Amino acid sequence: MKAKSPKKTTRTTKSLKSAGKAKPSTRLLKLIVAALDAKKAEELRVLDVSKQSSITDYLVLATGGSEPHLRALRIELERVLDAEKARILGVDTTKGSGWTVVDAFEIMIHLFIPENRDKYRMESLWRDAAEISPAKLLS
C-alpha cells in the first residue's frame, strides 16, 4: 500500500482571497510587531502592500544582529502565529543565508542580518507602499 503524500498548501491570489473577506485583523499585525519588538528586532518597518501585491497585504521587515538572533525572532513569530491560529504557508530559513521569511498569508515577515538588509533594500522595492508606524501599532 502506497503512503499518501502530505497535502500541499497553495497560495491563492488576493482577488480570490479578498472575496467576501475583510483585510487581516490589525490585532495579528500588532502582535507580530510587539513580538519582534520584545525580542529586540531592529529597523522594524511595516508596509501596506495591498494595492501593489496580489499575494499579501502587509510586509513586515526587521533586522536581527546575527543568525542566532534571526532564529530567536522566527521562533517567537511562530509562537505568536500558532497562538492566534494564523495560517502559516511557509517558512524559508536556509541556514547561514542571513534572511528568514515567514509567510503568514496576508502578512509576510522578512528578517535580515544587517548586511542583507542593506544588500536587498526591500523598502526601495516597495517604495510605493504605504508605511504604517510600528510605534502606532505598539501603542
Domain membership flag for residue 18: no
Structural contact between residues 50 and 23, judged by C-beta atoms closer than 8 angstroms: yes
Give the residue numbers spanning the domain of 28.
Answer: 24-138
pLDDT of 106 over the 50 cut? yes
Domain membership flag for residue 9: no
pLDDT of 100 over the 70 cut? yes
Domain membership flag for residue 85: yes
pLDDT for res 23: 53
pLDDT band at 44 (very low <50, low <70, confident <90, very high): very high
Total structural domains within the chain: 1
Average pLDDT over residues 18-35: 75
Q: Report the C-alpha gap between 103 and 107 in whole angstroms.
A: 7
pLDDT of 14 over the 60 cut? no
Domain membership flag for residue 132: yes
Domain membership flag for residue 7: no
Q: What is the CATH number of the domain that holds 80?
A: 3.30.460.10
Domain membership flag for residue 14: no
Average pLDDT, the chain: 86
Q: Across the chain, how many H-helices and E-strands are there?
A: 6, 6
Claim: this prediction has a pTM higher than 0.75: yes
pLDDT of 2 over the 90 cut? no
The torsion defined by the Cα of 112, 106, 17 and 10, in degrees rounded to 10, comes to 50
Angle at 127 between CA 121 and CA 130, to 5 degrees: 125
